Structure 1
Amino acid sequence: MLILTTVLTTGALTLTACGSRDDKDSGGSSGSGNTTVTIGVDAPLTGQNSATGLGIKYGVQIAIDEANAKKTVPGVTFKLKALDDKAQPATGQQNATQLVADKTVVAAVGPLNSGVATSMQQVFSSANMVEISPANTAPELTQGKNWQSGSKTRPFKTYFRTATTDALQGGFAAQYAHDSLKKKKAYVVDDKQTYGAGLAKLFKQNFVKDGGKVIGEDHVNTGDKDFSTLVTKIKNSGADMLYYGGQYDEAQLITKQLKDVGANIPLMGGDGMFSDTYIKTAGKESEGDLATSVGVPLDTVAAAKDFISTYKSKGYPGDYSTYGGYSYDAATAIIKGLGTIVKDGKLPSDARSQLVGAVQNTDFQGIAGPVKFDQYGDTTNKQLTVYKVSGGKWIAAKSGTFNAS
């Protein structure tokens, strides 16, 4: 009831609910406007998944700093409010409530984890506040729980994402494993979370459809460290690959322990394990492992050159390569959307709800690709890439799209 009351109250905020009059610069940026507007960020900034979470935070920070320096929205100074959800749904919901209660916050970027997003969507929706995730890939977040049966219904008009979904990623990974790697027998493991379990299920379905065989399945808990029983089962199964649905925190330990028992087969996963931290922790045992991720390699995109240079020169922590570009583009969509509704440096009394429509009509070339949303709030950018660990680095093996029909 406390959460609901807060949401309903903040959902009816007037002019002061979305911006505060302030002639001073804020957030360390170089803006000179007299209306301060806050863009919220929710991501795991400490603990599990924090490397990718920090990449999200600082991707938004760079977009904000640039908007202030260029005075993208005349009369408006942007600042960042980043909250740590620790990859926990309950904490994410509390953060969402805190963001909508802040009178200066007009929209939020995040979260990283699909399971966390499930707990946040209703809070933002009740406040008519835009939420754009640069990382969530669970299809049901935008297309409803019955999306696989073809009955797609958008649950929340306030929710958008710049990352494509597991409906494509799982099939893309399975196709590459079967057709390019020539793998025939896969062992499939997931972490029981919304993202991991969903991705593993889609990989399994498509791998079998392509002619492969799943000869074993298992589950782990997030936070587990000892996988000795699991890796022994995988070794004895005769599998020629392991597919893992989950984050890098567990995957980096599983692959290390798998190789230690003499099972020299590749571990493949999704964008949740596509992090330099994975390689640093797993060491040489990660050689030959694979991960799919959304989009194309950021360092191959000319439009991202300045972003990468800024991220590095600022010494920001975390991994920008996974979702940094998508978080920058998400923040840019919010900033551009505000530019269409701000008049003479002033926000309308219903700025939050107007911004929902403005973001829905987004259409520009971002640093990670085109930024445009379909009727479900999904990105129209369907590019995916398979990466392979080679020489201690993630090297792009194949980029393309996948037809899920």
Structure 2
Amino acid sequence: MRQRSLVILTSVLTTGALTLTACGSRDDDSKGGDSKTTVVIGVDAPLTGQNSATGLGIQYGVQIAVDDANKKNLVPGVTFKVKALDDKAVPATGQQNATALVADDSVLGVVGPLNSGVATQMQQVFDTAHLVEISPSNTAPELTQGKNWQTSKSRPYKSYFRTATTDALQGGFAADYAYNTLKKKKVFVVDDKQTYGAGLAKLFSASYTKSGGKIVGTDHVNTGDKDFSTLVTKIKNSGAELLYYGGQYDEAQILSKQLKDAGAKIPLFGGDGIFSDTYIQTAGKDSEGDLATSVGVPVDTLPAAKAFISTYKAKKYPGDYGTYGGYSYDAATAIIKAIGEVVKDGDVPDDARQQIVNKVQGVKFDGIAGPVAFDEYGDTTNKQLTVYQVTAGKWKAVKSGTYDAG
């Protein structure tokens, strides 16, 4: 996500020589004799291994948006393509991917990453290159509002945006539901020590205790852990009525199963990191009654998303579209709309990347997952959140609304 001018090779018919021009790669249309500039939308997400179900949902959400843009000729003179890179949920790999995307002159925008921890290693790379980045899923507040966001908000990177709301709202929303709706007065809190998980758990705990609830124990796990027997014993002995987990579904799904198998019949409550069908498939019947918060409202209840869902299913794309697929589609669409204001008739200006960043800041439209617009920090203005509960083997929405973090 760093600055570069676009360089393409154009065939000069009279001499056969190659000349350099700042336009982007152009392909001849054999039928009409016209040519189009190829513009690439980059994607960074975990496409294999940890978190890959949600990562693939991001990739194919973007793919559908790009296919729609090409079909509708949204930007005359431009053909869009997707370049998806696998970060494996590893921050260092994400940074390498960011460098690779910046080096590709045809890339004019990037959707991703999935994980907030990966984002911390990518933001500066993209910002130096003035390459716009929109995450459909990052929720750590400091990514847009700075390390001291609770006392003094300051936007660290102008090129970074997100279509997901932050943990400052999600943690409080979950705490309010746990205390006031579920009437759970004693909670054990566990996190995976990662940027997203630890931050979400901290914000949940602060809001929960402020409401009057009691945190009866805390602990941490490592990503990749599979044996939680010692932790399960601690949770059982604590007298907790609820386990709140900050992290991803990979560990949570195993922890939930082991907790129930040990006789602790209390629900596990997590954030959007566990909101995946994969969680239910792995935890099985032991996931029944577990809860998760996620950004926005259920995508399958939104009329604007019907065509998207139909296409995703018809093409048999892998991954979970329900978590971030709609937000990925909208993120890609925001970039495409901005490109349409900068790239005219296929001509890409030398400072196209910087211009696109500026245009994304002012973008405003009705997306398939809700209204799309960004505030002065690059955060979405759509603050909707939803609590889901596993009911009869499926995630069922039980409450949607907003939360005032005060």
TM-score relative to the length of structure 2: 0.94
For residues 369 and 92 of structure 2, what CA distance do their matches in structure 1 show? 30
CA distance in 2 between counterparts of 1:213 and 1:37 reads 53
- Structure 1 segment 1-400 matched on structure 2, within 5 A: 11-14=3-6, 16=8, 19-23=24-28, 34-149=36-151, 151-400=152-401
Give the drift of 1:167: 0.3
Where structure 2 has 5 or more consecutive residues not aligned to the other structure, the ranges are: 9-21
Secondary structure in 1 matching 2:377: coil
Q: Determine the C-alpha separation between the residues in 1 that align with 2:306 and 2:254.
A: 33
Does the CA-based 8 Å contact 2:6-2:106 persist in structure 1?
Answer: no
Is the Cα–Cα contact under 8 Å of residues 337 and 362 in structure 1 kept in the other structure?
A: yes
Deviation at 1:173, TM superposition (A): 0.1
Q: Structure 1: which amino acid aligns with 2:116?
A: S
8 Å contact from structure 1 (residues 189, 219) kept in 2? yes
Unaligned runs of 5+ in 1: 1-6, 26-31
1:371-399 Cα distance to aligned partner (Å, 9 max, x none): 00000000000000000000000000000
Q: 1:158 to 1:13 in 2, by over 3 A?
A: same
Q: Deviations over 1:120-143 (max 9, x none)?
A: 000000100000000000000000
User: SS state of the match for residue 329, structure 1?
Assistant: helix
Greater per-residue helix proportion = 1
Task: Answer whether contact 2:169 2:404 (CA < 8 A) is retained.
Answer: yes
Which deviates further from its counterpart, 134-143 or 337-346? 337-346
Equivalent residue number for residue 3 of structure 1: none
The Cα of 1:274 is off from its aligned counterpart by: 0.0
What is the DSSP-based 3-state SS (H/G/I as helix, E as strand, rest coil) of the residue aligned with 1:47? coil
- 137 and 18 in structure 1: CA distance in 2 versus 1, 3 angstrom threshold: farther
The one-letter code sitting in structure 1 at the alignment partner of 2:307 is D
Question: In angstroms, what is the RMSD of aligned CA positions?
Answer: 1.2
Cα distance in 2 for partners of 1:321, 1:90 equals 28
Letter in 2 for 1:42: D
Distance in 1, Cα, partners of 2:171 & 2:158: 25
On the 8 A contact 1:294/1:383 being kept in 2, the answer is yes
The alpha carbon displacement at 1:21 in A equals: 1.4
8 Å contact kept, 1:132–1:162 = yes
> How many equivalent pairs are there?
390
Q: Percent identity?
A: 75
Would the aligned equivalents of 2:4 and 2:103 in 1 still touch at CA under 8 Å? no
Deviations 1:90-144 (A, max 9, x none): 0000000000000110110000000000000000001000000000000000000
Structure 1: distance between partners of 2:38 and 2:347: 10
Check whether the contact 2:188–2:218 (CA below 8 A) recurs between aligned residues: yes
Deviation at 1:24, TM superposition (A): 5.8
Task: Name the CA distance, whole Å, in 1 between partners of 2:344 and 2:379.
Answer: 29
Partner AA of 1:98 in structure 2: A
Determine if contact 1:15/1:347 at 8 Å carries over to the other structure.
no
The one-letter code matched in structure 1 to 2:3 is: G
Q: 1:229 to 1:375 in 2, by over 3 A?
A: same
Q: CA deviation at 1:23?
A: 2.4
**Do the aligned residues in 2 keep the contact of 1:38 with 1:80 (CA within 8 Å)?**
yes
Residue 289 of structure 2 aligns to a residue in which SS?
A: coil
Q: Alpha-carbon deviations, 1:320-350, whole Å to 9, x = none?
A: 0000000000000000001111222211111
Distance (whole Å) between structure 2 residues aligned to residue 337 and residue 343 of structure 1: 11
Q: How far apart in 1 are the matches of 2:255 and 2:129?
A: 41
- Equivalent residue for 2:13? none
